[in-house]
Chains A and B, each alone.
Chain A
Amino acid sequence: MVWELIKLDLRKVLTGYITFVLVLSAYLLFRQRPLESTDTIVIAAGVLQGLYLAWRIFRDPGSTQSFIFSRPFSRNRLFWNRWGLGITLQMVTLLIVLILVASGARSFIHKSNLPYYPMVQWYELSVLWPLAIFSLAAFQIQMFLMLRARTLQTASLPKWRKVATYAIVCFIALAFLGGFRVVASAVSHGATAPAHLGNAVLFYVLTLTVLTTLTSLHCYRHIEIEA
């Protein structure tokens, strides 16, 4: 871990991230109906968070690329620091949601409006699943697409390397589709929450995470700094 690098990246992402967490917390606290794993707003928030974090962390605005890439970090270290920061911030979001729900803040706010039983409070923790999974998937895909695009933008890339990169992309796309088929099949058979967020979804997201992380790392090693 390079603390100076983390500080640089954190600075890029912090304002937007804090705003996001505040808005999400407000939504979770003030939504009157009990929270559940199919909450569309939470799913959208997860996707939004993943996209935003990957975009801000892995993009070096202006001509800061040559500054960042000439500091004493290897490409590997740079990538893992940035990826780790993205994952950590997503975990912090989950932790905040967990604390908000488990502390009983929602039941305190809504006790006059709803028959709020302790069981509901624990049931509401299932909202963590869609937030985690959709945020992680969006983060991974956004990161992968950004880095892949930067690798292919390189005018000096030999043809065989472009073909190889496209082959990797096709393989990953097939893996995504195959995983999606499994997940869709599980859901269409009437699985209920949290069953439909069971093994198939976990397998799908883990595969997606591993593949996109490794290919993104590969792209990061071959990115040409042209700024």
Chain B
Amino acid sequence: MSEYAIETRKLTKMFDNRIAVDTLDIQIPAGSVLGFVGVNGAGKTTTIRILMGHLHPTSGQVKTLGKDPRRHNEELKRRVAYVSENMNLPGWITPERAVKMNTNLYSQWDSSLAETLLDEFELRGTGSYSRLSRGQKRKICILLAICQNAELLIMDEPALGLDVAARHDFLKRILEVACGDKRTVFISSHLLSDLERIVDRIVLIDKGRLLLQGDLEDLKAGVRQLHFAVDISKEELQQHFQVLRYNHPAARETLAVVLDFDEQRLHRFCQQNPSAENPRVFGLNLEDIFVELVKNTNGKNEERTEQ
């Protein structure tokens, strides 16, 4: 197994004259559970389709499990399980028939897990695929991907259309897959609260460009909201921190979100700015971090509210 399950170097994809993915460099170590996050139109689905060999990059390199997805198409499809955002099975196929078909296609197929999931997801005897609800359709796609026992599981908005209980079951299964077999899981989703529960790494992209990639815990430890009961200038803060957001919610109050927080740095800042003693420090959840990063990139956090 190569060091990285997924690796892209200066990956670029253009549609006509519009750049969908812009010189994207990502490295995802084998065995990690990765959340791939971005706003609508950020280039997530395009990137995933390139990883699967469905789209061809305009320039740059891409390696999925150490192989070029265009050259090793058939081999990679055996080793990679994929659930796309709009994936549909043929309308006539029943869940049981789909499972049987996949049993014949994949040598490493987990039949006992498939039988368990058919019951757990209540898919037995539901009739042909075209008659299933949206949630049931997602469930069968997820079932097929999980039971493939692939080295790499790529899922594009897998929980779309699932109710809360089904999402809970799905997350539980993903954790079992990731923890049990040390497989790589790559999930693109807008449900950041779900992602936060299962991923250990995160890649954030916006407008096709990489915003940030790394360990989720490191990211959460670094991004903090600081609340000072005094007026502090942005320049003073920037001498010590990388400031994502800066404003004044009230008179003689300063609120800042910083990217590279640590206790020692804050201690040094307070020593140099005695008036700023005892600031309140808040952690942010993944959703808040994502919003702060995207807004910062788009220049929306430069506001200064004077009251």
What is the interface of chain A, defined by CB distance below 8 A to chain B? 2-4, 7-8, 11-12, 61-64, 66-67, 69-75, 77, 155-156, 158, 222, 224-227
| Among B73-81, B223-231, B232-240, the stretch in contact with A | B73-81
Interface size grouping (class) on chain B: 20 to 34
| The 7 residue pairs across chains A and B that have the minimum distance between CB atoms | A225-B54, A74-B74, A63-B88, A155-B15, A72-B77, A63-B86, A66-B84
Secondary structure of the A contact surface, majority rule:
loop
Q: Is the CB of B56 within 8 A of A72?
A: no
On whether the beta carbons of B74 and A4 are closer than 8 Å, the reply is no
Bound-state Cα–Cα, A61 to B89, Å: 10
A227 to B54 alpha-carbon distance, docked (Å): 10
Provide 13 A-B residue pairs closer than 8 Å at the C-beta atoms, listed in order of the A residue: A4-B105, A7-B101, A11-B90, A63-B84, A63-B87, A66-B84, A67-B87, A67-B89, A70-B77, A72-B78, A77-B74, A156-B16, A227-B84
A-side contacts of B16, CB under 8 Å = 155-156
The answer to whether B82 and A72 have CB atoms under 8 Å apart is no
CB distance A222 to B56 under 8 Å?
yes
Q: Are B87 and A74 in contact (CB under 8 A)?
A: no
Who on chain A is nearest to B90 by CB?
A64
- Nearest CB in chain A to that of B16: its residue: A155
Query: Contact between B52 and A70 (Cβ–Cβ < 8 Å)?
Result: yes
CB distance from A137 to the nearest CB of B (A): 29
Q: List the A side residues contacting B86 at CB < 8 Å.
A: 63, 66, 227
Residues of chain B within 8 A of A3, CB atoms compared:
104
A64 CA / B90 CA spacing, docked (Å): 6
- The answer to whether the Cβ of B282 comes within 8 Å of any Cβ in the partner chain is no
In the complex, whether B55 has a CB less than 8 A from a CB of chain A is: yes
Among B13, B52, B84, point to the contact of A156 (Cβ < 8 A). Answer: B13
> Are A156 and B14 CB-contacts (below 8 A) given A70-B52, A71-B105?
yes
Q: Which residues of B contact A (CB under 8 A)?
A: 13-16, 49, 52, 54-56, 58, 73-74, 77-78, 80, 82, 84, 86-92, 101, 104-106
Q: Tell me, in angstroms, the Cα distance from A142 to B86 when the chains sit together.
A: 27
Q: Which residues of B contact A77 (CB under 8 A)?
A: 74
Contact partner, A224, options B14, B54, B82, B101, Cβ 8 Å? B54
B105 neighbours in A (Cβ, 8 Å) = 2, 4, 71-72
Of B58, B74, B78, B106, most buried by chain A (CB within 10 Å of CB) is B74
Q: Which of B73, B88, B91 contacts A74 (CB 8 A)?
A: B73
Contacts of B49 in A (CB 8 A): 225-226
- A70-B56 in contact given A4-B105, A11-B92, A156-B14 (Cβ < 8 Å): no
Instruction: Give, as a whole number of angstroms, the nearest-CB distance from A13 to chain B.
Output: 12
Residue of B nearest to A68 (CB): B90
Contacts of A73 in B (CB 8 A): 74, 77
B73 near A75 with CB under 8 A, answer yes
Q: Are B101's CB and A4's CB within 8 A?
A: yes
Interfacial chain A residues near B74, Cβ < 8 Å: 72-74, 77
On chain B, the residues within 8 Å of A69 by CB distance are: 54
Closest to B154 in A: A70
Q: Are B88 and A64 in contact (CB under 8 A)?
A: yes
Which B residues are CB-close (under 8 A) to A11? 90, 92
Complex interface: chain A residues within 8 A of B55 (CB)? 156, 224-226
Contact B104 A4 (CB under 8 A): yes
Looking at the assembled complex, report how far the CB atom of B150 sits from the nearest CB atom of chain A, in whole angstroms.
10
Query: What residues of chain B lie closer than 8 Å to A66, measured between beta carbons?
Result: 54, 82, 84, 86-87
